Amino acid sequence: MRRLKLPLGPVVLDPTGPALTEDDRRRLLHPAAGGVILFAHNFENVSQLIELTNEINSLRAPELPICVDHEGGRVQRFTEGFTAIPPMRQLGVLWDRDREAALQAARAVGTVIAAELGAHGLDFSFTPVLDLDYGASSVIGHRALHFDPGAVGALAAQLIGGLADAGMAAVGKHFPGHGFVTADSHHAVPTDPRPLRDLLKKDIAPYGAAIAAGLAAVMPAHVIYPQADAEPAGYSSYWLQEVLRGRLGFEGLIFSDDLSMEGASTAGGVPERARAALAAGCDQVLLCQNPKEQERLLESLAATPVAVPERIEKLRRRGGRDFRKSVAYRDALEALRQVP
Dihedral of CA atoms 112, 115, 116, 119 in degrees, nearest 10, equals -170
The string of DSSP letters for 305-334 reads --S-HHHHHTTS---SS-GGGSHHHHHHHH
Contact 34, 284 (CB under 8 A): yes
Average pLDDT over residues 183-204: 92
Torsion angle of the four alpha carbons 182, 190, 143, 78, in this order, in degrees rounded to the nearest 10? 130
Instruction: Judge whether residue 307 has pLDDT over 90.
Output: no
Q: State the chain's mean pLDDT as an integer.
A: 95
The answer to whether the bond into 174 is cis (omega within 30° of 0) is: yes
Q: What is the pLDDT of residues 95-132, one digit of tens each?
A: 999 999 999 999 999 999 999 999 999 999 999 999 99
% of the chain surpassing 70 pLDDT:
100
pLDDT at 321 over 80: no
**pLDDT value, residue 186:** 86
Is 25's pLDDT higher than 90?
yes
Mean pLDDT over residues 260-272, rounded?
A: 92
For 286-303, how does the pLDDT look when each residue is reduced to its tens digit (9 = 90+)? Answer: 999 999 999 999 999 999
Which residues are registered as beta bridge partners of 9? none
Beta strands 60-61; 75-76: pairing state: unpaired
pTM: 0.96
Average pLDDT over residues 45-62: 97
Nearest to 48 by CA among 82, 81, 18, 16: 18
pLDDT at 1 over 80: no
pLDDT of residue 197: 96
Supply the residues annotated as catalytic.
186, 257
pLDDT, position 3: 87
What is the mean predicted confidence (pLDDT) over 314-338? 91
Residue 165 banded pLDDT, cuts 50, 70, 90: very high
* Structural domains of the chain, with CATH: 11-30+45-336 (3.20.20.300)
Q: Give one word for 66, left, alpha or beta, with left for phi > 0 and alpha for psi -120 to 50.
A: beta
**Is the distance from CB of 222 to CB of 232 less than 8 angstroms?**
yes
Which pLDDT value is given to residue 134?
A: 95
Q: How confident is the model at residue 232 (pLDDT cuts 50, 70, 90)?
A: very high
Q: CA–CA separation, 182 vs 158, rounded Å?
A: 29
Predicted local distance difference test score (pLDDT) of residue 65: 98
